[in-house]
Amino acid sequence: MVTGAANGIGRAIVDRFLADGYSVAGVDLAEDDLGAMATELDADRFHPVVADISNRAEVSAAVHVAVERFGRLDVLAANAAIADADPFLEIEDRSWLRIIDVNVNGAFYCIQEAARAMTRTGGGAIVVTSSTNSWFVESNLAHYNASKGAVIALMRSAALDLAGFNIRVNAVEPSMVKTRAAFITKDPDGAADYLKRVPLGRFAEPAEVAAAVAFLASEQAAYITGQTLVLDGGLTLGIELPLPQSALPGSARAEGLDGA
């Protein structure tokens, strides 16, 4: 089961899971986009489910549909999320609550309802899409940053509590990915400025995030749980500094000990 399946990273995860041989229930609010996917993909292996993950009843129903359609639930990619941008002093309650409702409550509902299904069939794997914003925060995104930090704590808690049921829970943390929500990637000037801080010099592709999700969901990651996999092109490694024009005080070069 993949949430946020109709676009961006979610769509890439669906495509990757199908390529890896899974049958997939794709969950999204975008009914038209899901319908278009259903016409493109193998109807025997892809089943669209329209649901709002911020509504527990709809999440529970979506899990039930997935199990009814395919017989069991082995993997959940809890990917769906929303974002907004506001200066900190101008964030309204409705914006804050909406992001928390979808990104945190929605992730909790999805993880819990999927785990309940997995306990009946011997376990499974859950991969949550978080973000480097969970700890490497960006301005004007306090509500989004906070939600992604909460998702990591939730993931780790679930991993600890569900390990006894043979359910692994991990997360991916992308930085900027080429999706419709990543507005900076479509701004020529903003993109060029942002990429100056990315050692690999480019934005991530949705398929690259999907590959990381697929790894964490696979048997290759059978002994990995409660972990985060960062996909940021080196963005958060550190700060590049210019080389000093002269030797620094106390250094070998400054003391003439460099063999010159």
Q: How many helices (H) and strands (E) does the chain have?
A: 8, 7
Q: What phi and psi, each to the nearest 5 degrees, are found at residue 224? A: -115, 120
CB burial of residue 39 (10 Å; 0-12, 13-18, 19+): exposed
Name the residue among 201, 123, 138, 207 with its Cα closest to residue 169: 123
Active site residues: 144
* DSSP reduced 3-state for 149: helix
Name the residue among 19, 11, 12, 127 with its Cα closest to residue 76: 127
H-helix or E-strand spanning residue 2: strand 2-3
